[in-house]
């Protein structure tokens, strides 16, 4: 026996031994995928494909991109900070259970099932006294944000997935630095992968002035981040607890149309006043405390001031992420689709939904509901683009109206039904946003705001070409091949 083992190792190359080790590791990962992780069957098969057809690199790709989050307590609220929040959620749930108790706002009352679902799963309490300002141009959005920053009196909480200290980023940073020096408390939270050109040293002046900065899931080693696949995709700004921003714009010169590659950048962002800002504040606090090592936030009156604001737009702020049991924002989208009676409007840069989402749209179309989808004409991620194009072609064949935005890059994430319910935020229509990233959306129940977006959508159509059944059928074999490959790996894109 000893002779056999010696002879095996003496006649086996080091490369062969390493190959056997890698195959063994791949096998262990495969067992973990099948029996230990909460994944869809499509995702499991896609990762098995990667592991076994790339035996040398598959397990490295899995370590970087494939692991799920098991810790369900990443975002914690201290017991004393829950006071008031739990009572508010329970009071609203009780009101929604009582069918005889009506909301004062007609559209909100009509869609109380959507409200209840988001409230039950996500503690996304409904607020009624909001006013909303909409930005579809980056220059206008950042001009307004700079003005609000310069008028801040107490605190500025600033969170972005991508934060670049280029032209517009430098302006914002200098404004934040000036306010910190004036005594306004400034906190900046950026995603370490989305803003990978930054380090904490990039904010030396702000930190020396007393400001605090944190990176979400920071890299342990240069260029190596074991949480590369779970990114904080949220964009939230809260100023003095009274003004909130949420939407699709990141911070960088491309978002004000200065990119030679993308040209005009079409996006949507909201400026909110009213009690919905409290939800954005809570979301920021949770994200901040998940990574702040020394400067944890606690509930303070200055973060949640009494607001004498008399808007009348009902709104819920919903968030989702891989730490959650439910896919809250995806469920919100699905509930909207199933609630639609007349029309569904969607604008998204990436359209790679799972089977449940596609089937919901098919059922809607078969029921006579008009579906409009708008996607960009140029990719920022090639595989994602061809997966998007393939899914769009499938909908066209069923009778959907698919509009290809030609003016520049389309980045906003919007769904609207029946000129009544509207969702605007950071969540793309893809598996990454539904399962892997940390996202936030505003769900708005108001005919006036929904009609506004209907008009914005129709204005955008002027800058679109229509994808027809004939045009899609006429695509080249090369495009068909790219679509097939994209569809094969779509569960992990």
Active site residue 155: no
Strand partners, 439: 320
Catalytic residue among 278, 403, 413, 482: 413
What is the distance between the alpha carbons of residues 33 and 30, in angstroms, rounded to a whole number?
A: 5
Q: What is the DSSP string of 415-452?
A: EEETTTEEEEES--EEHIIIIISBEEEEEEE-HHHHHH
Clarify whether 233 is annotated catalytic. yes
If you write DSSP's letter for every residue of 64-127 in order, what string do you get? HHTPPP--TTSS---GGGGTTHHHHHHHHHHHHH-TTS--SSHHHHHTHHHHHHHHHHH----E
Check: CB of residue 105 under 8 Å from CB of residue 312. Answer: yes
In the structure encoding, which two tokens stand for residue 57, read together?
Answer: 């690199």
240 has catalytic annotation:
yes
Q: How far is CA 401 from CA 201, 309, 429, in A?
A: 49, 40, 17
Tokens of 68: 């799920």
Which is the catalytic residue, given 335, 411, 430, 482? 411
Strand-strand pairing, 155-160 and 185-191? parallel
- Provide the token pair at 74: 């990443």
Which member of 137, 418, 430, 460 is catalytic? 418
What's the CA gap between 302 and 278, in Å, rounded?
Answer: 11
Establish whether 411 is a catalytic residue. yes
Catalytic residue among 155, 235, 403, 482: 235
CB atoms within 10 A of CB 364: 22
Q: Which SS3 state, helix, strand or coil, does residue 311 take?
A: coil
Distances (CA, A) of 120 to 61, 91, 130, 153: 36, 12, 21, 35
Which candidate in 141, 157, 233, 278 is catalytic? 233
Catalytic residue from among 192, 240, 287, 446 = 240
Pairing label, strands 127-135, 408-410: unpaired
Question: CA-CA distance, 269 to 248, in Å (whole number)?
Answer: 6
Question: 139-147: which pairs have CB atoms within 8 A and are 24 or more residues apart?
Answer: 139/256, 139/257, 141/245, 141/247, 141/249, 141/269, 141/271, 142/168, 142/171, 142/172, 142/249, 142/251, 142/255, 142/256, 144/271, 145/172, 145/237, 145/245, 145/271, 146/171, 146/172, 146/175
Quote the tokens at residue 458.
Answer: 């129709």
Q: Which residues are catalytic?
A: 233, 235, 240, 411, 413, 418
């Amino acid at each position: 026996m000893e002779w056999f083992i010696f002879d095996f190792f003496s006649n086996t190359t080091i490369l062969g031994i390493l190959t056997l080790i890698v195959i063994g590791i791949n096998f262990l990962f495969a067992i973990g995928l099948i029996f230990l992780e909460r994944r869809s069957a499509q995702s499991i098969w896609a990762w098995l494909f990667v592991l076994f057809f790339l035996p040398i690199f598959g397990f490295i790709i899995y370590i970087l991109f494939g692991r799920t989050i098991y810790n369900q307590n990443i975002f914690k609220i201290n017991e004393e900070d829950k006071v008031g929040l739990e009572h508010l959620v329970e009071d609203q749930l009780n009101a929604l259970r009582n069918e005889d108790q009506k909301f004062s706002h007609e559209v909100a009352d009509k869609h109380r099932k959507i409200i209840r679902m988001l409230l039950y799963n996500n503690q996304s309490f409904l607020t009624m006294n909001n006013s909303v300002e909409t930005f579809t141009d980056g220059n206008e959005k950042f001009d307004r944000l700079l003005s609000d920053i310069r008028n801040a009196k107490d605190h500025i909480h600033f969170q972005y997935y991508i934060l670049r200290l280029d032209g517009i980023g430098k302006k914002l940073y200098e404004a934040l630095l000036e306010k910190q020096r004036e005594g306004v408390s400034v906190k900046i939270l950026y995603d370490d992968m989305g803003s990978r050109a930054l380090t904490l040293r990039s904010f030396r002046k702000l930190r020396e002035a007393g400001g605090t900065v944190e990176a979400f899931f920071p890299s342990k080693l240069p260029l190596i981040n074991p949480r590369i696949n779970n990114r904080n995709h949220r964009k939230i700004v809260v100023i003095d607890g009274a003004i909130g921003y949420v939407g699709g714009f990141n911070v960088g010169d491309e978002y004000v149309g200065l990119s030679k590659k993308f040209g005009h950048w079409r996006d949507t962002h909201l400026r909110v006043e009213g009690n919905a800002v409290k939800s954005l504040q809570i979301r920021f606090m949770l994200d901040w405390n998940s990574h702040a090592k020394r400067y944890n936030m606690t509930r303070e009156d200055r973060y949640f001031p009494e607001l004498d604001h008399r808007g009348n737009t009902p709104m819920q702020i919903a968030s989702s992420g891989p730490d959650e049991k439910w896919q809250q924002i995806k469920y919100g989208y699905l509930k909207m689709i199933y609630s639609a009676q007349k029309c569904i409007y969607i604008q998204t840069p990436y359209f790679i939904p799972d089977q449940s989402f596609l089937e919901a749209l098919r059922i809607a179309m078969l029921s006579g509901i008009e579906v409009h989808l708008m996607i960009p004409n140029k990719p920022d991620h090639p595989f994602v683009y061809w997966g998007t194009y393939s899914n769009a072609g499938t909908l066209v064949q069923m009778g959907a109206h698919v509009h290809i935005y030609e003016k520049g890059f389309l980045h906003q994430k919007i769904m609207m039904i029946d000129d009544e319910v509207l969702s605007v935020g950071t969540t793309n229509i893809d598996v990454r946003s539904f399962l892997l990233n940390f996202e936030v959306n505003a769900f708005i129940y108001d005919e006036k705001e929904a009609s506004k977006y209907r008009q914005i959508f129709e204005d955008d159509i002027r800058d679109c070409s229509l994808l027809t059944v004939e045009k899609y059928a006429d695509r080249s074999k090369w495009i068909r091949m790219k679509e097939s490959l994209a569809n094969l790996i779509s569960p992990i894109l």
